[in-house]
Amino acid sequence: MKEDFLHFVWKYKKFNPVNLQTDDGQKLLITKSGFHNYDGGPDFLDARIMLDETSWAGNVEIHIKASDWYAHGHHLDKKYNNVILHVVAKNDKVIFREDGTKVPALNISPLLDLGILRQYKLLQQAKAKIPCHSFLPDIDRFIIDQCLDRMIVERLEDKTKEIQDVLQKEKNDWEYVFLIFLSKYLGGPVNSLPMELLIKSISYNTFQKKQNSIHHLESLLFGQSGMLNTIESDDDYIKALKAEYFHYKKTEDLKPIENKIWQFLRLRPGNFPTIRIAQLCSLYHHSPRLFHTLLMASSPKVARQILNVSASEYWNTHYVFNKTSRKKEKKLGKHTANSILINVVIPFMFLYGSFRGKESLKDKALSWLENIPAENNSITKTWLENGIKAKNALESQALIELKKYYCTPKQCLKCNIGIKILESQS
């Protein structure tokens, strides 16, 4: 048994409330269980109880063992002096507050609903990827939709936390921070950090000055990537990049990052960092204020058109420098554009709406997710195997959040679906 199970039992009153007594024999009546506190301090705040004929108002602390009070240092903490009841599964020690007064205890173990306890153990011991998979067919779709609505908000809040941290460091320069996150995303899992280091190795002012020419922008980024340092070539394109970058290096006091940090191994050629850098240059050459341009787009379709750029001509016949390949235009396709919208543009849009107090932008972000096809990945496939199909990107993102932060760590007691399953057992 875990402490969060006792929190659930107390919060939803899933125990026998008749003829309750504290450890010292006082008659106990619970009139209000209190508000669940997810921050520091006692577990439930503003509870109301009767001990014999006396009414008490204060907080409730919950532990598996009474002695955990001392293990957690509550006897030294003034914040716990207003605890009026200690709820425990094993009352192994009499406990005292920091001010020296005794805290009455309720041993809840004999009062537990055995059906709920049994079901909780089954969920916690389940080996399946979705612990509650066998119960899903019996869960009302309204409960599932309610859960997904909560998950998508949590998903967007999780994604925007990192953006907020970088915005704070960069003095709320939205365009520059968007460039950083877009570059990281284009780099994919293995080249995310190199792409971030590349962008941060250049002042945004220098980057902006080169945007009017695709050649200037490519010279700057490929030069700063360190890739030009190791290339010897008679190719006119490469020679022009090197000459231009050599000039920038002196005038802008630039120092390239290490070439060796770039990963090509086991990547599809279309995801090579050379191609992604070239596409990034094309994006910002065509849309110098890319974040603002995407923010003003009327629909995901219009946004995809903005993102639907091709790398410059050299890359039609190359995936890497100095090695010719079969001719193919290196476009950011529809699938990649949708992924950028889901994972970069929409979180930025949602956060910008919060930052500016514009609910319309937050609603627009959610509406876009509803109008982008659901993602097809291992997590959405797992849900599909268990009878839940994502209708759109809003639902696929919500299901990813649910699987990652609730199903995998078995946080069933914090999940609407898990709570409903346990409630149905009482």
Q: Is 66 part of any domain? A: yes
Residues 85 and 188 in one domain: no
Can you give the pLDDT at residue 114? 87
Per-residue confidence at 379, pLDDT binned at 50, 70, 90?
very high
Tally of domains in the chain: 2
Can you give the pLDDT at residue 426? 59
Residues 36 and 185 in one domain: no
Residues 175 and 307 in one domain: yes
Whole domain around residue 84: which residue ranges? 3-112
Can you give the pLDDT at residue 226? 96
Distance CA 294, CA 228 (A): 32
Q: Is 150 part of any domain? A: no
Q: Is 296 part of any domain? A: yes
The mean pLDDT of 360-380, rounded to a whole number, is 97
Q: Is 132 part of any domain? A: no
Nearest to 411 by CA among 200, 50, 154, 27: 154
Answer yes or no: is pLDDT of 115 > 90: no
Can you give the pLDDT at residue 58? 96
Residues 218 and 78 in one domain: no
Answer yes or no: is pLDDT of 318 > 90: yes
Average predicted confidence (pLDDT) for the chain: 95
The pLDDT tens digits for 319-368 are 999 999 999 999 999 999 999 999 999 999 999 999 999 999 999 999 99
Q: Is 76 part of any domain? A: yes
User: Whose structure tokens read 């496939």?
Assistant: 381
Answer yes or no: is pLDDT of 282 > 90: yes
Residues 181 and 37 in one domain: no
CB 361 within 8 Å of CB 352: yes
Among 370, 385, 416, identify where a domain stops: 370
Burial code (b: 16+ CB inside 10 Å, e: under 16) for 334-366 equals eebbbbbbbbbbbbbbbbbbbbeeeeebbebbb
Residues 227 and 349 in one domain: yes
Residues 96 and 176 in one domain: no
Q: Is 423 part of any domain? A: no
The pLDDT tens digits for 53-108 are 999 999 999 999 999 999 999 999 999 999 999 999 999 999 999 999 999 999 99
Residues 76 and 185 in one domain: no
Among 69, 95, 112, identify where a domain stops: 112
Residues 105 and 188 in one domain: no
CB 46 within 8 Å of CB 59: yes
The mean pLDDT of 240-245, rounded to a whole number, is 96
Residues 266 and 351 in one domain: yes
In the chain, the percentage of residues whose pLDDT exceeds 90 is 92
The pLDDT tens digits for 191-240 are 999 999 999 999 999 999 999 999 999 999 999 999 998 888 999 999 99
Among 370, 386, 415, identify where a domain stops: 370
Can you give the pLDDT at residue 425? 67
The mean pLDDT of 311-317, rounded to a whole number, is 97
Residues 334 and 225 in one domain: yes
Answer yes or no: is pLDDT of 2 > 90: no
CB 151 within 8 Å of CB 157: no
Q: Is 232 part of any domain? A: yes
Residues 94 and 188 in one domain: no
Nearest to 222 by CA among 146, 162, 278, 148: 278
Can you give the pLDDT at residue 423? 83
Q: Is 178 part of any domain? A: yes
